[in-house]
Amino acid sequence: HVSSTGTIPISSLPGTKNDSAYALVFTCKKCGTRSAKKISKHSYHNGIVIVRCPGCEKLHLIADHFCWFGDEPQTIEDILREKGETVIKGTVDEASKADQAVVAGAIADSIDNTDDMQLREGEVLPVVV
């Protein structure tokens, strides 16, 4: 799934089908699995984003602008900053070879894993009014 030029098509990542998306590479602290997901930019900045670890199935909060999980809107950047950790931002082209391999692996895993889950990676929870 990596092109001959070495680029990885974000459209191949598991997650949102939205074209306006971020590639998220993260390590699950529960099981240590490093994985990649595609998340909606709109949801990251305005909604709720929760991703599921492919290793242990744990759900990870990435963004909450509806304050469902706290008193203030927050993103993973805010959560990690409070813990003294940092988020590294960049393009896939700037990513380390190890992270590019994680993205390529996530693409391959998404093709092999067709099990339906209640909450799919990168999906936004519906707003109940």
> Tokens 């949801």 map to which residue?
43
How open is the CA angle 12-86-58, to the nearest 5 degrees?
A: 55
Nearest-angstrom CA–CA distance, 37 and 30: 17
pLDDT tens digits, one per residue of 52-95: 998 999 999 999 999 999 999 999 999 888 999 877 776 655 66
pTM to 2 decimal places = 0.66
pLDDT tens digits, one per residue of 30-51: 999 888 888 889 999 999 999 9
Nearest-angstrom CA–CA distance, 81 and 128: 30
Nearest-angstrom CA–CA distance, 121 and 24: 11
Q: Which residue has the higher pLDDT, 49 or 14?
A: 49
